[in-house]
């Protein structure tokens, strides 16, 4: 999740996700979006792995782990996870991983592109992200003059 745009950057379906898998996912996201300055996570094993720690150090990304048993320190993602469970995972019976990935991708697209958020001035996460990219490009053009 992008804290600024409230955009679901990726939802990865798998039987398990290791720290190495997570760094591959972050590299893929980084090629499109750039890397964040910080990542806030819970204490899951993929987030406390040596692989993620080394990746973050190499890329200058700060890891911000919430305290164990304190999900309110990352309340937005907890709310998102609840919506995702209630509206997607609990509503579907996945016959295979390909089907799960397709359904989850469709839910993520709906979340990003069709759902306005009050915290975003009733814009969708995708609209906020596009507006921000335009603003950044305009600033960069001005600086080049």
Q: How are beta strands 62-65 and 38-41 bridged, if at all?
A: parallel
Phi, psi of 131 (to 5 degrees): -60, -40
Contact between 49 and 41 under an 8 Å Cβ cutoff? The reply is: no
Q: What average pLDDT score do residues 113-120 get?
A: 94
Q: What average pLDDT score do residues 41-66 get?
A: 94
Cα–Cα distance measured from residue 5 to residue 33, given in angstroms and rounded to the nearest whole number? 12
Q: What is the pLDDT of residues 71-101, one digit of tens each?
A: 888 888 999 999 999 999 999 999 999 999 9
Phi, psi of 125 (to 5 degrees): -55, -40
Q: How many other C-beta atoms are found inside a 10 Å radius of the C-beta of residue 65? A: 15
Which residues lie closer than 8 Å to 138 by C-beta, 6 or more apart? none
State the pLDDT at residue 139: 87
Q: Which domains does the chain have, with CATH numbers?
A: 19-144 (3.30.420.10)
State the pLDDT at residue 21: 95
Q: What average pLDDT score do residues 35-44 get?
A: 92
Cα–Cα distance measured from residue 120 to residue 66, given in angstroms and rounded to the nearest whole number? 24
Which residues lie closer than 8 Å to 142 by C-beta, 6 or more apart? none
Q: How high is the mean pLDDT of the chain? A: 93
Q: pTM for the whole thing?
A: 0.86
pLDDT > 80? residue 18: yes
> Where is 64: in which H helix or E strand?
strand 62-65
State the pLDDT at residue 137: 84
């Amino acid at each position: 999740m992008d804290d600024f745009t409230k955009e679901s950057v990726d939802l990865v379906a798998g039987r398990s996700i290791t720290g190495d898998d997570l760094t591959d996912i972050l590299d893929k996201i980084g090629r499109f979006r750039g890397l964040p300055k910080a990542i806030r996570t819970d204490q899951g094993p993929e987030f406390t792995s040596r692989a993620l720690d080394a990746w973050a150090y190499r890329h200058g990304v700060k890891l911000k782990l919430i305290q164990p048993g304190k999900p309110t320190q990352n309340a937005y993602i907890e709310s998102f996870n609840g919506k995702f469970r209630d509206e997607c995972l609990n509503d579907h019976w996945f016959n295979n991983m390909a089907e799960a990935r397709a359904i989850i991708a469709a839910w993520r697209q709906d979340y990003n592109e069709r759902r306005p958020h009050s915290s975003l001035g009733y814009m969708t996460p995708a609209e906020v992200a596009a507006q921000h990219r335009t603003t950044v490009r305009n600033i960069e053009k001005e600086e080049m003059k």
